[in-house]
Amino acid sequence: MNFYQKYQDISQEISKSQPQKNILIIAVSKKHSYEVFEEAYKQGIRDFGENSIQEGLGKIERWRELNPDIAHTDREPHLHHIGPVQKGSLRKLFGNFVATHGVGSMNNWKELAKRSLKESHLLRCFIQLNLTLEDTKSGFLESEFLENISEIHALCNEKLIWEGLMTMGPSDGDIETTRNVFRKLQQIRNEYIPDKKISMGMTGDYKIAVEEGSDIVRIGTAIFGERKYIEK
Ligand SMILES: *Cc1c(COP(=O)(O)O)cnc(C)c1O
């Protein structure tokens, strides 16, 4: 399978839509095997998305064992954690993932802040906003986020970088709602934290996300095909 070709096709399509911007595409390899992940890396993909810390860790540890000469250098696959942050394994984010895109509560943020003080590696973080108000989605409600902005800032340090905001479109994929949600995230960013990035857009809605100003899209199915549940 030529994953890189698909990645490049999407990349070209995106840069045609936003020629003046450099939008990062994260290839979401969750629930695909180590072999798929490794093959995509060999083809040239560098940024990968995993929603389970355990699963991502399994992949990066195996890759490091097989590539000891370039392990822990910038030539490693860059893992982005994209799911809700699980409290128990959150310390494993540091040093193994370059970023987490799912900080969904002040509790999570405080826990990460506490942890970051003991770490030698830095972690880039995206605060997740729930703008569709669906119960199934985690994240700050808009009002909750606005109330906490200064505390979020205050807990940052040189190992805990607040990189931006993340959101997900509605589960039913409604185009109108999707656009409104993405536009809303861009507005919130522009108004309150204009120097930060926004992470939004998946296989079904990345075109809309890009039109609405996304800096980072997270794409699985369009690159790797349907997900299988693999053993860890
Ligand atoms: C799985 C996942 C994606 C990728 O989904 P696709 O529809 O396969 O592109 C993006 N973001 C998050 C948070 C995910 O959990």
The residues spanned by each domain of the chain are 3-224
Q: Is 200 in the pocket of ligand 1 (CB under 6 A)?
A: no
Which two three-digit tokens encode residue 166? 């993340």
Centre of ligand 1 to C-alpha 52, Å, is 12
In this predicted structure, what is the pLDDT of residue 230? 59
Which two three-digit tokens encode residue 3? 């994953």
In this predicted structure, what is the pLDDT of residue 229? 66
> By alpha-carbon position, which residue is closest to atom 12 of ligand 1?
82
* Predicted model pTM: 0.96
Helices (H) and strands (E) in the chain, counts: 8, 8
DSSP assignment of 179-216, as one string?
A: HHHHHHHHHHHHHH-TTSEEE---TTTHHHHHHTT-SE
Centre of ligand 1 to C-alpha 117, Å, is 30
Which two three-digit tokens encode residue 47? 């940024």
Structural domain 3-224, CATH architecture: Alpha-Beta Barrel (3.20)
pLDDT tens, position by position, 106-132: 999 999 999 999 999 999 999 999 999
Q: Is 32 in the pocket of ligand 1 (CB under 6 A)?
A: no
Centre of ligand 1 to C-alpha 193, Å, is 25
CA distance 214 to 211: 7
Which two three-digit tokens encode residue 148? 């906490």
Centre of ligand 1 to C-alpha 28, Å, is 6
Ranges in the chain, pLDDT < 70: 229-232
Helices 53-66 and 34-43, axial angle in degrees (round to 10): 60
CA torsion sign, 12 to 72 to 43 to 58?
A: negative
In this predicted structure, what is the pLDDT of residue 228? 78
In this predicted structure, what is the pLDDT of residue 135? 84
> By alpha-carbon position, which residue is closest to atom 7 of ligand 1?
203
